[in-house]
Amino acid sequence: MGELRIGMVGYAFMGEAHSQAWRTVNRVYDLPVRARMSLIAGRDKANVAAAADRLGWDEHTTDWRDLISRDDIDLVDICTPGDSHAEIACAALAAGKHVLCEKPLANTVEEARAMVAAADTARERGVRAMCGFTYRRVPAVTFMRRLIADGRLGDLRHVRAVYLQDWITDPEFPLVWRLQKDKAGSGALGDIGAHIIDMTQFVTGQAITGVSGLTETFVRERPLASADGAALGAAKAAETSKGQVTVDDAALFIARLSGGAVATFEATRMATGRKNGLRIEVNGTKGSLAFDLERLNELEFYDATLPGTELGFRRILVTEPEHPYLSAWWPTGHLIGYEHGFTHQARDLLEAIGNGTDPLPSFADALGVQLVLDAVEKSAETGGWVQL
Ligand SMILES: NC(=O)c1ccc[n+]([C@@H]2O[C@H](COP(=O)([O-])OP(=O)(O)OC[C@H]3O[C@@H](n4cnc5c(N)ncnc54)[C@H](O)[C@@H]3O)[C@@H](O)[C@H]2O)c1
């Protein structure tokens, strides 16, 4: 079995989630290649050394360019904010490294297009690129796509997708990088709206063809955060001056899909009480399916082809070995959680690289999401319909 030597940039939230996946994936799945956690990059020497030790990386560096220049790195895993995705990904692909890049692919459509061009050139040399829309790999979501593709919902009429969080409801919450356009690209729209855009296109197999949206920034100034965008402690933040919030707190939009369905989307980090409330429901002529990330082992299915006396939503526990990804985990009914999606992502990427095929979602798929984000922003500015 070949070894794939990973170099990862960033070691906070996603860096930890991806580390967990790289550590676990070959223990759970039988794969053509084995991931080796070779080199981790961060900007602070002491912190990156501590992260390497805690997360299980062989070596560490304070410059991501070391990942590109070293011959003993095969894949670059980008877990930084969007402002560095394009530069790191394009450099890695040009150097012949496979790339896994976190979502959203970039901060602008222009950057995303450059990344797709770099991925297309690299593919000719057998180098692979993939974007981290992880929720596709929740077994219930993959299963939802399978049921829809099998025609179990008939012709699709509606998609209703929301992603609701509440971590910035306090106006004294500091100006972290996710609230700055130059670092994050956009606010709730690109951070969590991107997930429900990708999930909608993934489960329905249809593309979003036009949108009309609005965005709102409820809190326009916040206490400054530290230089690297991390939150300051409450007392420290109170002493400092305030800075401008340059992204949306909430984004809502309606859309048309290529197969004739219509869709509504809501992404907000101001939904008091909702912690990580991603829900999607699809209604078709033969039935409906509903998924809720806070109950991620379950799928609700209404099969309208059953006799009237038996109609009703039923709960499918998506933990059978025949369900996607689950044969390698625990006995039926022994639930999985948030982190498993990242292991499934690592599995699919290693399998594609080992078999010489293209992993999904591709950079081109992620550009498709970026175009929708851009269209929603344009629509919010003009108040009109934006065709894609
Ligand atoms: N797939 C998912 O479900 C999911 C979930 C959360 C975040 N994300 C995405 O992952 C990315 C990172 O988000 P996060 O939540 O981990 O953020 P984070 O703030 O927790 O971590 C970002 C890390 O990047 C480092 N960093 C920033 N700029 C850097 C640079 N120029 N060079 C080296 N290191 C740098 C920071 O020091 C930190 O370690 C974002 O694109 C975000 O949208 C994806």
Q: How many Å from the N-terminal Cα to the C-terminal Cα in the chain?
A: 44
What pTM does this model have?
0.96
What's the rounded mean pLDDT across residues 357-385?
A: 98
pLDDT-based confidence at residue 235 (cuts at 50, 70, 90): low
CB atoms within 10 A of CB 360: 15
Query: And the tokens for 51?
Result: 């992260």
The Cα 11–Cα 19 span in angstroms is 8
The Cα 153–Cα 313 span in angstroms is 13
What's the rounded mean pLDDT across residues 365-373?
A: 98
Out of 96-100, 217-221, 232-236, pick the least confident. Answer: 232-236
Q: What was the pLDDT predicted at 257?
A: 98
DSSP letters of 225-238? --TTSPPPPHHHHH
Query: And the tokens for 281?
Result: 């429901």
Q: Best substitution site from 44, 62, 80 to test ligand 1's pocket, by max atoms within 8 Å of Cβ?
A: 80
281 three-class SS: strand
CB atoms within 10 A of CB 205: 13
Q: What is the pLDDT of residues 197-220, one digit of tens each?
A: 999 999 999 999 999 999 999 999
For residue 80, the CA-to-ligand 1 centroid distance in Å is 3
Q: Is the CB of 191 under 6 A from ligand 1?
A: yes
Q: Is the CB of 29 under 6 A from ligand 1?
A: no
Q: How far is CA 300 from the centre of its chain?
A: 23
For ligand 1, what atom is nearest to the CA of residue 41? 33
Mean pLDDT of the chain: 96
What's the rounded mean pLDDT across residues 351-373?
A: 98
pLDDT-based confidence at residue 225 (cuts at 50, 70, 90): confident
Q: Best substitution site from 9, 13, 19 to test ligand 1's pocket, by max atoms within 8 Å of Cβ?
A: 13
Q: Tell me which residue of 232, 218, 220, 229 sits closest to 270, measured CA to CA.
A: 218
Query: And the tokens for 225?
Result: 């955060």
Q: What is the pLDDT of residues 245-303, one digit of tens each?
A: 999 999 999 999 999 999 999 999 999 999 999 999 999 999 999 999 999 999 999 99
